[in-house]
Amino acid sequence: AQKITQTQPGMFVQEKEAVTLDCTYDTSDQSYGLFWYKQPSSGEMIFLIYQGSYDQQNATEGRYSLNFQKARKSANLVISASQLGDSAMYFCAMRVRNQGGKLIFGQGTELSVKP
């Protein structure tokens, strides 16, 4: 069965510092995608970054990077130079090609950025 695990219910980071949000996944499929979404208090889901299972290099998008360790089945999100606007819930998700394209979500990590 496919599963996403986020073990950090809440995290604090000082403004301008970097922070790592943990994510591990479980699947027996070889073709899958890993995603991170941000959900501010307004409730909308904002796509941040994507990593394909066959991608050789770690994905980066501006201040976001994904530390992909396939053998360990981990896909941690690194946010560099944290900003106050980064305070939100962060969800790791997996999409398996053979499972109807549905996204499977973790429980989320609530990030609070301190000034």
| Three-class DSSP category at 86 | helix
Q: Which positions from 4 through 63 interact with another protein, judged by CB under 8 A?
A: 4, 33, 35, 37, 42-45, 47, 50
Q: Which stretch binds another protein (CB under 8 A): 22-30, 61-69, 70-78, 91-99?
A: 91-99
Exposed, middle or buried: residue 28 (CB in 10 Å: 0-12, 13-18, 19+)? exposed
Euclidean distance between CA atoms 40 and 96, whole angstroms = 26
| Best CA proximity match to 109, nearest among 1, 3, 4, 2 | 4
Q: Is 108 in the site for another protein (CB under 8 A)?
A: yes
Q: Is 88 in the site for another protein (CB under 8 A)?
A: no
Binding residues for another protein, how many (CB under 8 A)?
Answer: 22
Type of residue found at 10: G
Euclidean distance between CA atoms 64 and 2, whole angstroms = 25
Closest CB 51 distance from another protein, rounded Å? 11
Closest CB 81 distance from another protein, rounded Å? 24
Q: Which is nearer to another protein, 43 or 85 (CB)?
A: 43
Contact positions vs another protein (CB under 8 A): 4, 33, 35, 37, 42-45, 47, 50, 91, 95, 97, 100-108
